Amino acid sequence: MTAATGFFRREEVATALELLDDSLAGDPDYRFLGAYAGDELLGYACWGPTPGTEGTYDLYWIVVDPAWQGKGVGTLLLRAVEAKLVAEDCRLIVVETSSRAGYAPTRGFYERRGYAPAARVPGYYAPDDDLIVYLKDLTHGALARAAP
């Protein structure tokens, strides 16, 4: 499914499979959630705690089968992950994505759901492909109020 989206490079697909293997082997740092219609997997999300932080989590992947994109599956997965993280007293969700034109729908997806662009690292993925970091404060603004 990850490869079928056409978004991810071969190395990224391999990384997604590696994280799934780690999760299935009991690694608590990588958590997965699937969205299903009966027995059919429509999409999945992967997230985990950010090492060295208190209450910060990385959302590594939201992948939706191309036949189900634009039908609310990604939003369902994102909201379910957010609900789980709120229940675990998560303070902050971090999402990293690409600046490539093909990722414009992905960036818009996060922005429409309350994720704010926080950083841009030029040439991070490739000379013409920047890293864009999005954040979502799950403390209802307490993080911003606590900043000096």
Q: What is the 3-state secondary structure (H, E, C) of 16-44?
A: HHHHHHHHHCCCCCCEEEEEEECCEEEEE
What per-residue confidence (pLDDT) applies to 18? 83
* pTM score, whole prediction: 0.85
pLDDT tens, residue order, the chain (148 aa) = 777 777 777 887 778 788 788 778 887 888 999 999 999 999 999 999 999 999 999 999 999 999 999 999 999 999 999 999 999 989 999 999 999 999 999 999 999 999 999 999 999 999 999 999 999 999 875 555 555 5
CATH number at 84 reads 3.40.630.30
What per-residue confidence (pLDDT) applies to 139? 87
Q: What domain range is 117 assigned to?
A: 3-146
Domain count, the chain: 1
Sign of the CA dihedral running 39, 109, 78, 14: positive
